[in-house]
Structure formats: C-alpha cells, structure tokens
Amino acid sequence: MALVEETGFDAYDAGSIAASWRQQCCSPSYYTEATLAELPAALAAADIARPRRRTDLAFEVYGERFRIGQNPGRGFIVQLSRLLKAP
C-alpha cells in the first residue's frame, strides 16, 4: 500500500484474493472512477452473479463500436462501466 501511495494514488485494502471478484469487470467498483470514500460501498454492493453477465454485454458493445485492434478511450470505458453497474 505504501508503494501505491508513494506513486500518488490512494491505496485501499479491499480484502482477500477470495473476495477479489468484487473488483472484477462491471462490478460497482470497476473502472467507474469511484472515490476512496465511495469505494467501500461500491465493494459492498457487488453481486457475484452480475459481473459475468455485464462483462458479456460490455464485450458486445465493444464489438459493435470498435474494430479489432482499435481501443475505446478512457471516457467511453468509464461511461459504459457506470451504465453497466447500475441496478
């Protein structure tokens, strides 16, 4: 955590490897630019069944919008992640 903080980022202990699914693609904490204050609630709101379905949707959107080898910008990814985490 000290190394992360030394690089200018806020470190947060989100738990064990077994609980790391709470940070996976399309979970409430993933690529939504949650603040350090918002992160505990985002991690707590994660639903283990939901990210897999949402990840599939995200890849469908990417496939429709971008050619192979073309990457979406940060703003697009954050906006899509926020939409997909919504209940």
CA 22 to chain centre: 9
> Which two structure tokens, joined as six digits, stand for 60?
């469908």
DSSP class per residue in 45-82: T--TTHHHHHHHHHHHHHHHH--TT----HHHHHHHHH
State the residue for tokens 């470190």.
11
Backbone angles phi, psi at 67, to 5 degrees: -75, 160
pTM for the structure as a whole: 0.66
At 31-65, the pLDDT tens digits run 788 899 999 999 998 888 877 778 888 888 888 88
At 19-38, the pLDDT tens digits run 998 988 778 888 788 899 99
